[in-house]
Amino acid sequence: MPIGENIMKRRKARNWSQAELAEKVMTTQQMIQCVEKDVKIPGLGLAKRIADVFGCTIDDLFDEGA
């Protein structure tokens, strides 16, 4: 699955809103929305913060089979 879908799945599994995830990873809700829609690919720093919040690796976020 695309990274955006993977992030959205992980976020929803924790019952977090886009705004809650954004706050946890120090970005905007708009950025999370764009990433989840695959309009933008997160930079390395943001991808690392997202992976840390979800307790996974950056590779896990990009994993097509996740």
12-44 pLDDT, tens digit each? 999 999 999 999 999 999 999 999 999 999 999
The CATH number of the domain holding residue 8 is 1.10.260.40
Domain that holds residue 41: 3-53
Q: What domain count does the chain have?
A: 1
The CA-based dihedral angle spanning residues 57, 43, 19, 9, taken in that order and rounded to the nearest 10 degrees: -40
Asked if residue 36 belongs to a domain, the reply is: yes
Distance from C-alpha of 20 to C-alpha of 1, rounded to nearest angstrom: 23
pLDDT at 21: 98
What is the pTM (predicted TM-score) of this model?
A: 0.91
